[in-house]
Chains A and B, each alone.
Chain A
C-alpha cells in the first residue's frame, strides 16, 4: 500500500505526538483527533509496529547481523570480541586483563588522550544473554553510574555498541580478591572483620540507592594496595543473565558456590541476598570454605533435590592462625544468621549485620533480637508511621547545583538532600522502600528486571490501595516518594505523585493543613529544579500559608526551608528588597534553638553572594563566595559537587571584575574536578564545562570555548535540562558573534530565548541579553528584515521594564545596540532618542564600565565633544580593569572620529587604539572598531 508525501507528513506529526504516551492517554487522544481514513490507518499501523516488542533486523547494524548477533542463542562459537588496539566509543582497548566463558575484561584508556584515565572494560559474550531491552539497560546503567562510594568501583558508563555488543566501563582498580589478600598477608581476625565491615559500608550505600549487588564473592571484592576494599560488578551481569533462557538449567545466573539458595531457584535481587553474600564472605575469611562445595553444585545441575543443611559453625573449622575461641559464640551466631536458608530469618539489612560486627569489635554481646523477620509492607506501615519528611532516604541525595555559574544559588534542597546530613538516624523511609522489595508480591516474583523507577511508581499505587493505611500516612508516603523521584531526576513522575497526594488530601478535609504545606514545599522544590521561577514562587506562597507555627522544632525546620527557597529565588531574580527580607527571616530561624541545619546556612551565604553579584556589588559577592568556600572546606563537607559550583561562581564574579586569570584558574579547577567526580554525561559536569567555556571566551580563546560549550550542550540535550542548555546556547551565541558568525549566533540566541521566556519571563535579564545578541547577529549577517523584527520586540521589552530593572546594565546595552544600529543607518534622531532614554538612569543604579564606554562613545558621535566632558569621562572609564577591550575600541574610535571630523589631530588616541587593537580578547565587532573605519573614511575625505 503506497503512501504519498503529504499523508506521510501528517501521519508522522501525529505519530511523534502519540508514540510515547501511555496506552490510556494515547487511546483517548486517538479517539479525539479528526483525520481522514487513510491517515488514521497508517497511523495505527505505525503505532502498532512501534509497540511490537520483538527486535527488528535494523536494531543491530549490518556488521552485527552478519556476524551472527541476531542469532544469539544459537551461535555456539564465541563471538570475536574486540581486542587490544581497537576502539570502543571514546575508549581505546589496551591489554587483556582476563577472560572467561561469559566474556573478557580489557584494560583501556581514553582514545582522545584528553585526560588520564585507566579503565577496565568488560565485554560480554552475546551468547550469555538473550534479547536486551536497550532502554531499560541504559536506565539501569545510568542509575548504577550514580553509585559513588570509596568502597565501590565506579561504573563509568556502559551500553551496547551499534553492532549489538553489551559492554561496561569501570574504574580500573588493581587489587586482590579479599580471600587471597588475607591469606597472603596472614591477616589477623581483627583485620578480617574490619574488612568485612568495609564491604558492609559499601553495600549499605548501594542499598540506600536501591541497588542490590546480588553476586558477592571474593573475586568481586578486591583489596587495593592501600588496604581498602573495593566492590566490583554490581549486578549488571546478573541482570543480563536473568534474561537468558530460563528453561536451560545449565544457564546459572549466579555463582553457585557463593550465592543465596533462593537465587538458585531464580529469585530476583533482594537485600537478603546481599546479606547472605556478606555471610558467605565472612565464612570464607574465617574458615577458608565456600558456602557450597562441588558436590552440592553437581546435585543442583543434575536436578537432584537440594537440601541446604546448616553449615557447621565457623569456630569448628577455623583457619590456622585464627583463634577458634574468639570466633566461637558471637561470630558463629552472626554467620549462621546471615547464612540462614530462609531469607526471612536473616538480618533484615546489611547495617544490622554491621552493627553486630561492631559490637563484636567492642567486645559487647551481640543481640539476637536484631535477627527478626522483615516487616511486610502493610504490617510495617501499621507499626511505623512515616515521620516528617526530614529523615528521608539517606544518601539518596543528588546534590544538584541548579543551573550554571551565577544565576542560581542553591543545591536541590529536597528533603532527601537534607537528610544526607542525618544519615545516622533511623532511615525509616529507606526501610520502607526496601521493604517494598522484600514482600512476596506477585509483581516482584515474576523475575522481571528490578526497575527502580517502576518500584517507586508501584509503591505509590500500593500505598494508595492499602486499606490499613490511614490517610495522613498515605499522603506522607506519596509526598516522600515524589521527593525521591525529584532527587533521581524524574520530574514528571514526581509531579504526578504530588498530584495524587493532593487528591488524597482533598478527599480527607480533616487532615492537618501542615501536610498540604509540606506538599507545596516539595512542589516548589520541583519547580526550582525545572528553573520555573514563577511556579516556584506560587508554590512557596501556598506552602507558607499552610505550615504550623515556627516556634516548635518541626515548624522551625519547615519554615526555614521555605525561606531558604525564597532567598535563593529572590537573589536569582535580583529582587533586592524581597531578598533582604528573606535573608533576615531565614537568619532569625537559623538562630533560633533547634537543629543546626548546616545546608540551609550554606544556602544563605550563596544567596547573599548571588544577590550581590547580580547587583554589581562584585567585591561583596566575591568575599561572600570565598566565605562559603571556607565553610565548605572547614566542615569537611567538600562533597566535591558543591565545591565545583562554588569554584564556578567564584570564577564568574572574578571575570566580571576583570580578573580573568583568577577566573580561569577557578574554572579550570572546577572543570577538572567535575571530570573526576561525575560520570560522562552528567549534567553537573556540563555546568562546569559551560563555566570554563565562558571564561575561555572572555580570554579570546574562542575555538577552545566553542569545543567545550558544544560538549556541555550535548550533555544537556541528552539529559533534557532545557534551561541549562539554553544558557549554554547564550554563551555559544556570544562566542559565535566574537567569531563573526552573525547568522548562527542570532539563531542560537533566539532558540535560547524561546526556551527561557516561558520559564523566566520575557523581561528576565538573560532574555534581554538574547535580544541584543540577535540584533548584532542579524546586523553582521546583513539581514534587515530579521533585524527590524527583533528591534521592535526589543523596544517593547525595554518599555515594559520597570525601575530598577529598566536601568540594569544589560537593558542599557540593548538600548545602546539599538542606538548604534540606527546611527550606523544614518537615523540620528532615533539613536539620540534611545540615548536619552539611557541617560535617564538614576544615579544609584549599578553600572558596568563596558557599557558606560559604549554609551559615552555614541553620545560623542552624536553630540561632538564641545561643551562637555565626554572625552575626560571616557579616558577615566578606559582605565577601569573591568572594561572589556571591545568597548575600549569602540569608545576610542568614536573619539578619534569626532576629532578627525573636526579637523583636529588624534595621535595620542590613535596610539591607544593601536594598543587595544593588539589585544587577543577582541571580538569580531571589536576588531572592526579597532581599525576605526569611520575615521579612515573621514580622513580620506569620504565623509
Chain B
C-alpha cells in the first residue's frame, strides 16, 4: 500500500480551534507597541500586521494560505482596534490602542478618523442583515486583501466575492451620503 499524501481539499482536517478575539487583540497590540518603540515614525500596514500576528499565534502551524477560516477573526479584530483608535483621536483622548498611530501619518487626511468611524457605523447597520458582506469589507478594506484572497478566506468563489463587494459598496455609499 502506498502512502497517500494529504488532500488539499480538506482544510479543517486537524480540528484546530481559531484563536479568541481577545488573544488576537493582545497580539496585535503587542506587535504594534514593539514596532512603535523601535521606530517611532513608522507607517502602519495592516496587511503585514495581521500576517505577523497570525504567525505569532499559530506559531507556523500549517501554511498561511490554508488558514483561510481564521483570517476573518483577525480582520474583525483589526477593525475593532482601528475604529476604537479613530474614535479616540476624534475625541482627543488616549486609549490602549495608541500604539496604532494610524491617523497620525502626515499624509493622512485630517478627516480620515471620522470617515473610518462612519464606515464602521454603516458596517454595524449592515451586519444586522448580512454578516458575510461585513466580513468581506473587513478583509478587503481593513486588512488589505485582494478579492481573491478575501473570497477564499470566506470560502466563497471570487465571482461571488466580486458580486458581494458591489452590494456592500452600494449600501455603504447609499448610507454614507
Residue numbers of A with Cβ under 8 A of B are 2-5, 8-9, 12, 15-16, 19, 45-50, 52, 56-59, 61-68, 70-71, 75, 77, 79-80, 162-163, 702-703, 706-707, 714, 717-718, 736, 739-741, 744, 917-920, 922, 927
21 residue pairs of the A-B complex, CB under 8 angstroms, read: A4-B129, A5-B128, A12-B167, A15-B166, A49-B171, A49-B174, A56-B172, A61-B47, A61-B144, A62-B116, A66-B107, A67-B105, A67-B107, A71-B109, A162-B140, A702-B5, A707-B8, A714-B148, A739-B9, A919-B2, A927-B1
| Across the A-B interface, the 3 shortest Cβ-Cβ residue pairs | A68-B107, A49-B173, A49-B174
Interface residues of B (CB under 8 A from A): 1-2, 4-10, 43-47, 82, 102-103, 105-109, 112, 115-116, 119, 125, 128-130, 137, 140-146, 148, 157-159, 163, 166-174, 176-177
Q: Which of B9, B115, B159 has the most CB of A within 10 A?
A: B9
The residue in chain A whose Cβ has the minimal distance to the Cβ of B109 is: A71
| 8 Å CB contact of A744 from B2, B9, B125, B170 | B9
Q: Give Cα A5 to B44, complex, Å.
A: 36
Determine whether the beta carbon of A62 is less than 8 Å from that of B163: no
Residues of chain B within 8 A (CB-CB) of A58 are: 119, 137, 140-141, 168-169, 172
**A689 CB, nearest partner CB in chain B, Å:** 16
Tell me which residues across on chain A come within 8 A of B10, comparing CB atoms: 741
Residue ID in chain B nearest A922 by CB atoms: B2
A50 touching B169 by the CB < 8 A rule?
yes
Rounded to whole angstroms, the CA-CA distance of A4 and B129 in the bound complex is 6
Contacts of B43 in A (CB 8 A): 66-67, 80
Given contacts A63-B46, A66-B112, A68-B108, contact A717 B171 (CB under 8 A): no
Give Cα A920 to B144, complex, Å.
42
Q: What is the CA–CA distance of A703 and B5 in the complex, to the nearest angstrom?
A: 7
Complex interface: chain B residues within 8 A of A71 (CB): 107, 109
**Other CB < 8 Å A-B pairs besides A56-B172, A56-B176, 15 of them?**
A8-B129, A8-B130, A57-B116, A57-B119, A61-B143, A61-B144, A66-B102, A66-B103, A67-B105, A79-B107, A162-B140, A744-B9, A917-B1, A918-B1, A927-B1
Q: B109 and A68: CB pair below 8 A?
A: yes
Residues of chain A with a CB closer than 8 A to B46's CB: 61-63
Contacts of B106 in A (CB 8 A): 68, 77
Please pick, from B1, B109, B129, B177, the residue contacting A49 in the complex, using a CB distance under 8 A.
B177
Contact: B142 with A62, CB < 8 Å? yes
CA distance A320 to B47 in the complex (A): 58
Known A8-B129, A46-B171: A16·B109 in contact at CB below 8 Å: no
**B144, A65: Cβ atoms closer than 8 Å:** no
A162 and B109 form a contact (CB under 8 A)? no
Contacts of A70 in B (CB 8 A): 109, 112
Of A57, A80, A702, A919, chain B has the most CB atoms within 10 Å of the CB of A57
Distance between Cα atoms of A16 and B6 in the complex (Å): 38
B130 and A65 contacting across the interface, CB-CB below 8 Å: no
> CB-nearest residue of chain B relative to A710?
B8
Set of chain B residues within 8 Å of A717, measured between Cβ atoms: 157-159
Q: Bound complex: CA of A71 vs CA of B102, how far in Å?
A: 16
- Cβ of A57: which chain B residues have Cβ within 8 Å of it? 115-116, 119
A46 & B140 in contact (Cβ 8 Å cutoff): no
Report Cα–Cα, A56/B148, bound state, in Å: 20
Task: State how many angstroms separate the Cβ of A734 from the closest Cβ of chain B.
Answer: 13
Contact B145 A162 (CB under 8 A): yes
Q: Does A63 lie within 8 Å of B7, measured CB to CB?
A: no
User: Please, which residues of chain A bring their CB within 8 A of the CB of B176?
Assistant: 56
- Chain B residue nearest in CB terms to A704: B5
Q: Would you call B141 and A61 a contact (CB within 8 A)?
A: yes
If A45-B174, A714-B158, A717-B159 touch, whether A19 touches B112 (CB-CB below 8 Å) is: no
Q: Which residues of B contact A19 (CB under 8 A)?
A: 166, 170
Do residues A703 and B44 form an inter-chain contact, with CB atoms below 8 A? no
Nearest-neighbour CB distance to chain A for B124, whole angstroms, equals: 12
Contact A63-B45, Cβ < 8 Å, known A741-B7, A741-B10: yes
**Interface contact A162-B137, CB-CB below 8 Å:** no
CB contacts (< 8 Å) of B103 on chain A: these are 66
Task: Report the Cα distance A77→B148, complex, angstroms.
Answer: 32
Complex Cα distance A75/B108, Å? 10
Contact A62–B82 (Cβ < 8 Å): yes
Residues in B neighbouring A47, C-beta threshold 8 A: 170
Say yes or no: A65 contacts B108, CB within 8 Å. yes
Chain B nearest CB from A730 CB (Å) reads: 16
Report chain A residues within 8 Å CB of B173: 49-50, 52, 56
Set of chain B residues within 8 Å of A163, measured between Cβ atoms: 144
Chain A residue nearest in CB terms to B130 = A8
Give, as a whole number of angstroms, the nearest-CB distance from B123 to chain A.
Answer: 10
Which residue of the partner chain, among A3, A63, A740, contacts B44 with CB atoms under 8 Å?
Answer: A63
Name the contact of A46 in the complex, choosing from B102, B125, B129, B170 (C-beta under 8 A): B170
Tell me the minimal C-beta distance from B109 to chain A in angstroms.
5
Verify B130–A718 contact, CB threshold 8 A.
Answer: no
Contact A46 B141 (CB under 8 A): no
User: A736–B7 Cα gap in the complex (Å)?
Assistant: 9
In the assembled complex, the Cα of A800 lies from the Cα of B108 at a distance in Å of 68
CA distance A929 to B4 in the complex (A): 16
CA A421 to CA B56, docked complex, whole Å: 60
With A2-B125, A57-B119 known as contacts, the answer to whether A75 contacts B166 (CB < 8 A) is no
Chain A residues lying within 8 Å of B141, measured Cβ to Cβ, are 58, 61-62
Residue on B with the closest CB to A70? B109
Does the CB pair B107–A75 fall under 8 Å? Answer: yes
Do the beta carbons of B146 and A16 come within 8 Å of each other?
no
Choice from B9, B82, B171 contacting A706 with Cβ under 8 Å: B9
A744 surroundings in chain B (CB, below 8 A): 9
Instruction: Decide if B105 touches A66 in the complex (CB within 8 Å).
Output: yes
- CB-CB < 8 A to A52: which residues of B? 173
Let me know if B158 and A46 touch, CB within 8 A: no
**B174: chain A residues within 8 A (beta carbon):** 45-46, 48-49
Nearest chain A CB to B54 CB, angstrom units: 16
Residue of B nearest to A5 (CB): B129
Q: How far is the CB of A10 from chain B (nearest CB, A)?
A: 11
The CA-CA distance from A66 to B140 in the complex, in Å, is 15
How far is the CB of A58 from the nearest CB of chain B, in Å? 5
**Which one of B115, B125, B129, B146 has the greatest number of beta carbons of chain A within 10 Å?**
B129
Complex CA gap A56/B157 in Å reads 24
Whether A3 contacts B109 by the Cβ 8 Å rule is no
- Shortest Cβ gap from B32 to chain A (Å): 14
Contact (Cβ within 8 A) A15 B170: yes
- B2 x A920 contact (CB < 8 A): yes
Q: Which residue among A12, A80, A714 has the maximum number of chain B CB atoms within 10 Å of its CB?
A: A12
- List chain A residues, Cβ under 8 A from B142: 61-62
Cβ-defined contact, B158 with A718, below 8 A: yes
* Alpha-carbon separation in the docked complex, A379 to B115 (Å): 56
Are A741 and B9 interface neighbours, CB within 8 A? yes
A241 to chain B, nearest CB (A): 22
Q: A64 to B82, alpha carbons, bound, how many Å? A: 14
Report how far A583 CA is from B40 CA in the complex, Å: 77
- B2 pairs with A918, CB closer than 8 A: yes
Query: Please, how many angstroms separate the alpha-carbon atoms of A920 and B8 in the complex?
Result: 18
Q: Which of A16, A707, A740 contacts B167 (CB 8 A)?
A: A16
Chain A residues, CB < 8 A from B167: 12, 15-16, 46
A607 and B173 alpha carbons, distance in the complex (Å) = 54
**How near does chain B come to A759, taking the closest CB pair, in angstroms?**
19
- Complex: how many Å from CA A4 to CA B5? 47
Report the minimal beta-carbon distance from A501 to chain B, rounded to whole angstroms. Answer: 32
A744, B8: Cα distance in complex, Å: 12
Contact residues in B for A45 (Cβ distance below 8 Å): 174
A739 touches B4 (CB 8 A): yes
Q: Which residues of B contact A77 (CB under 8 A)?
A: 106-107
Closest to B167 in A: A12
Task: For B146, list chain A residues within 8 Å (CB).
Answer: 162
A63: chain B residues at CB < 8 Å are: 44-47, 144
Q: How far is the CB of A142 from the nearest CB of chain B, in Å? A: 16
B158 and A16: CB pair below 8 A?
A: no
- List the B side residues contacting A741 at CB < 8 Å: 7, 9-10
Q: Which residue of B lies closest to A163 (CB)?
A: B144
